[in-house]
């Protein structure tokens, strides 16, 4: 299977009735500032370089971000922060991500999420995380050159840990705990790093600064030997 085949399968998924109802409702009702736009309103596939050595794992598409634009971390303020940081550290060709056709390209980096559908109140149910896990597992198997994984937020971090355990990629005897800047060597090949999610809750309060986010990606460069 190629990543393009997996992406098509993701888009067709209807496994979680609650999420299907919610993302379709949001796409239908919209919000005033995007009233004239056509929403994607489907599961959102991963995005980036098929030869990536860096994998980012987030939570899920935002209702009026990825669920509107059809691309991970695109069209919302979390994405503004993330792609600016990726641009500053050489992973993105431009600092903005507003639509699937805006010319953004990632080099050496791939962005995905725990869940592929926008959830109500940005909260996935445990059963929804489990149903979506096979997509992440297969994505990771296809991204054969990944050497560093960044978990964006606790859920993204924990999802990455669980996926690596299921794939037999972790040699740890104790499950690592999430924290910003936490660095864990999962095996001789792969390192996992934790980062606060670039959500407005974190960026507006100063819990996460641009300097802190840049430091995470400077460290991934060091671990990849490209700094």
Strands 148-152 and 47-48 come out as unpaired
Would you state the pLDDT for residue 226?
Answer: 58
Can you give the CATH number for the domain in which 155 is found?
Answer: 3.40.470.10
| Token reading at 61 | 């598409």
Q: Contact, 78 vs 62, CB < 8 A?
A: yes
Q: Kindly give the parts of the chain with pLDDT less than 50.
A: none
Distance CA 106, CA 85 (A): 12
Would you state the pLDDT for residue 225?
Answer: 79
Quote the domain boundaries for residue 47.
Answer: 3-224
200: part of which helix (H) or strand (E)? helix 200-203
- pLDDT tens by residue, 169-212: 999 999 999 999 999 999 999 999 999 999 999 999 999 999 99
- pLDDT tens by residue, 49-63: 999 999 999 999 999
Q: Contact, 58 vs 114, CB < 8 A?
A: yes
How far, CA to CA in Å, does 115 sit from each of 58, 135, 148, 188, 215? 8, 9, 20, 28, 26
Distance CA 190, CA 178 (A): 17
- Reading phi first (left if > 0) and then psi (alpha if -120 to 50, else beta), residue 153 is in left
The total domain count for the chain is 1
How far, CA to CA in Å, does 21 sit from each of 36, 185, 222? 21, 39, 43
Q: Residue for token digits 């997509």?
A: 135
């Amino acid at each position: 299977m190629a990543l393009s085949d997996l992406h098509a399968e993701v888009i067709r998924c209807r496994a979680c009735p609650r999420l299907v109802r919610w993302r379709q409702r949001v796409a239908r009702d919209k919000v005033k500032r995007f009233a004239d736009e056509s929403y994607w309103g489907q599961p959102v596939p991963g995005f980036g370089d098929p030869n990536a050595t860096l994998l980012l794992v987030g939570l899920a598409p935002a209702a009026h971000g990825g669920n509107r634009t059809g691309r991970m971390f695109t069209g919302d303020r979390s994405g503004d922060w993330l792609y600016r940081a990726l641009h500053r550290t050489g992973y993105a060709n431009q600092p903005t991500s507003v639509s699937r056709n805006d010319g953004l390209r990632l080099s050496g980096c791939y962005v995905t999420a725990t869940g592929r559908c926008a959830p109500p109140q940005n909260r996935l149910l445990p059963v929804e995380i489990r149903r979506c896990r096979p997509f992440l597992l297969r994505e990771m198997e296809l991204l054969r050159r990944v050497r560093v994984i960044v978990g964006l937020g606790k859920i993204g971090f924990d999802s990455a840990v669980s996926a690596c355990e299921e794939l037999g990629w972790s040699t740890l005897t104790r499950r690592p705990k999430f924290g910003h800047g936490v660095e864990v060597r999962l095996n001789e090949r792969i390192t996992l790093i934790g980062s606060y999610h670039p959500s407005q809750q974190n960026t507006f309060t100063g819990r996460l600064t641009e300097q802190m986010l840049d430091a995470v990606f400077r460290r991934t460069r060091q671990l990849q030997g490209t700094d």
